[in-house]
Amino acid sequence: MKKGLILITLCFILAISLISAQDENCFESITATKTDAFINQLTNINLDNCNSEVPSPINRVFSNEVINLVIIRQDGTRQDLTLIIEDGQVTSIEQGSSDNPSFVITIEECSLETILRNKNAGTAAYLYSSGHITVGPHGFWNIIRWNFGKLILNPAMRRMTVETEIECTDGGKKAVGEVCNHGGECETGNCIYVGGEGADRTYKCSCDPFKYDPYVNSDGSCVGELTYPESNTGKPGDICQHGGQCETGNCIYQSGQGADRIYKCSCDPYRLDTASC
C-alpha cells in the first residue's frame, strides 16, 4: 500500500492514522479491497510486533483516544470497531463499540471500498473533505479539541485531496463458492457446474474458468495454485489440511464434498470462526 493509505483508511474509518510505509509497519500486510476481508485482516494484526505509530499531523489531533469506528453497510446495517491510541501508538483494534469513546468516525461501505480499491491516501482525503467520512467528538472537552484540531487537519487533508468517484466493488456480484446461474453473477465471471442432473444441476462461482476451484485466501481473493501454510503460521481464514498448520491449532471444515472439501484455520475449535481471535 502506498504511503499514507492506511493513514486514512485507518484514521478516518478504521481510525485516522496516516501510518507511514516503514519496515515492520503493522498495516503493510493489509491487501483486502472488500469490507469483510479488510476487517478480518485489520483485527488480526499483532500490534505488539510492529510499528503502529500515528504520524504527523494526525498525532497532533489523536494521541490518547478511544475511537469508535462505524461502517454503514450497503444493506443498512452497521459494523462497529473500537480503536485505542495510547501515547501516539495504536494499541488495540477490536470488533464492537466502546460505551465511552472520545470520537466516533463514520464511513459508508462504498466509500471504504473505494479507498481500499484505489490504494491512494488522496482518495480518503477527498472523501473526508467532502463529508463522506465524518468525525464526531464526544464530550465537551473533545468538542473543543476537535474544533482546534480541524485547524491543523483540514488544510492537510485538502492538500492531499484526489477527487474520486465513489463506487461499490461488489455490484451485487456473488463471491466464490456461492450458487449461480451464469458467469455474470460472479465476481470472478466464472460459474461452473458442480453436481446434480436436470432441474437439480448446481453451478457455483469459481476461481477457475474451466473447472470448479473454490480456493480463496483469508482476504477473499483466489489463490491460484493451492498452497498450505507452514507449521503454526496459518491465519484465521487461510486454507489448511490439519490444525498444526494454523496459529490457533484449529483447522475446521468449511464446504465441499470428497476431494473438494475445504478446511480453513479458525478461531473456534468447533466451528468456522475467522473474526473473534
Residue type, 234: G
Residue type, 100: N
pLDDT at 14 (0 to 100)? 37
pLDDT at 251 (0 to 100)? 93
**CATH number of the domain enclosing 130:** 3.30.1050
Query: Looking at the domain assignment, is residue 104 inside a domain?
Result: yes
Residues 191 and 154 in one domain: no
pLDDT at 3 (0 to 100)? 35
Sequence-distant (≥ 6) Cβ neighbours of residue 48 within 8 angstroms: none
Query: Looking at the domain assignment, is residue 180 inside a domain?
Result: yes
| Cα–Cα–Cα angle for 273, 275, 277, rounded to 5 degrees | 90
pLDDT at 248 (0 to 100)? 92
3-class state of residue 198 by DSSP: helix
pLDDT at 107 (0 to 100)? 87
The domain tally of the chain equals: 3
**Cβ–Cβ contacts within 10 Å for residue 87, how many?**
10
Residues 187 and 250 in one domain: no
Buried b or exposed e, range 176-204, using 16+ CB within 10 angstroms:
bbeebeeeebbbbebbbebeeeeeeeebb
Residues 44 and 109 in one domain: yes
DSSP state of 118: H
Residues 120 and 197 in one domain: no
Distance, CA of 66 to CA of 85 (rounded, Å): 7
Query: Looking at the domain assignment, is residue 252 inside a domain?
Result: yes
Q: Domain range for residue 93?
A: 5-160
Query: Looking at the domain assignment, is residue 121 inside a domain?
Result: yes
pLDDT at 147 (0 to 100)? 84
Q: Exposure of 211 by Cβ count < 10 A (0-12 exposed, 13-18 middle, 19+ buried)? A: exposed
Residues 44 and 145 in one domain: yes
Residues 191 and 232 in one domain: no
pLDDT at 209 (0 to 100)? 82
pLDDT at 249 (0 to 100)? 92
Residues 46 and 154 in one domain: yes
Going from the first residue of the chain to its last (277 residues), give the mean pLDDT of each consecutive group of 10, the final group possibly shorter: 39 36 52 78 76 64 81 82 84 88 87 79 81 86 83 78 74 74 77 82 85 74 72 86 90 75 87 82
106 phi/psi in degrees, rounded to 5: -125, 140
pLDDT at 260 (0 to 100)? 67
pLDDT at 246 (0 to 100)? 92
Residues 37 and 116 in one domain: yes
Residues 128 and 188 in one domain: no
Distance, CA of 18 to CA of 103 (rounded, Å): 17
Residues 136 and 31 in one domain: yes
Does the pTM surpass 0.75? The reply is no
Residue type, 257: Q
Residues 134 and 239 in one domain: no
Q: What is the CA radius of gyration of the chain?
A: 20
